[in-house]
Amino acid sequence: MIYITRRERFNAAHRLFREDFTDKQNDAVFGKCSNPNWHGHNYELFVTVKGELNPQTGFLLNLKTLSKIIREQVIVKLDHKNINLEVDFMNGKLASTENLAIGIWEELEPHIKALAANLHCVKVSESENNFVEYYGN
Ligand code: NI
């Protein structure tokens, strides 16, 4: 089994909040990320795929193909967008990095399967210090 990872980047706006919380409660739970006027992050997305090496190519899969899938399935939906308002697969979800990683996984998984490989990890980094890794259920 071999693992390869492709990094893509996007920037997006979001707000962490619950409608049933007051601004004060939102601030207490979500801190700066609950600013009612939104804010943005420069996100990094690391997609790790696993599978068996193709002896003809020496590849697991072509990284250009993986990059194209990631860009077409998720980056175009996220880049320069408001995650709360404009991203279909985040509809009705709290715009946390955790939910973003799960949502990206769900968008990508069928397309990775179609390449005869398996999605291993979706890592979403919101800042240099904070990142989330999702390995599926
Ligand atoms: Ni934030």
Ligand 1 center from residue 73 Cα (angstroms) = 22
Q: Which residues are catalytic?
A: 33, 80, 126
Distance, CA 49 to ligand 1 centroid (Å)?
27
Confirm whether pTM is higher than 0.75: yes
What number of H helices and E strands is found in the chain? 5, 5
Handedness of CA 95, 11, 133, 135 (dihedral sign): positive
Parallel, antiparallel or unpaired: strands 2-14 and 81-82: parallel
Q: Distance from the CA of 60 to the center of ligand 1, in angstroms?
A: 35
Query: What distance in Å separates the CA atoms of residue 91 and residue 30, rounded to the nearest whole number?
Result: 19
84 and 73 Cβ atoms separated by less than 8 Å: no
Ligand 1 centre distance from Cα of residue 14 (Å) = 6
Q: What is the pLDDT of residue 20?
A: 96
Q: Give the CA radius of gyration of the chain.
A: 16
Question: Whole-angstrom Cα distance, residue 131 to residue 137?
Answer: 18
- What's the pLDDT at 116? 86
- Model pLDDT, residue 36: 92
Per-residue model confidence as pLDDT tens for the chain (137 residues): 999 999 999 999 999 999 999 999 999 999 999 999 999 999 999 999 999 998 999 999 999 999 999 999 999 999 999 999 999 999 999 999 999 999 999 999 999 999 889 999 999 999 999 999 999 98
Question: In this structure, are residues 126 and 42 in contact, taking their beta carbons and an 8 Å threshold?
Answer: no
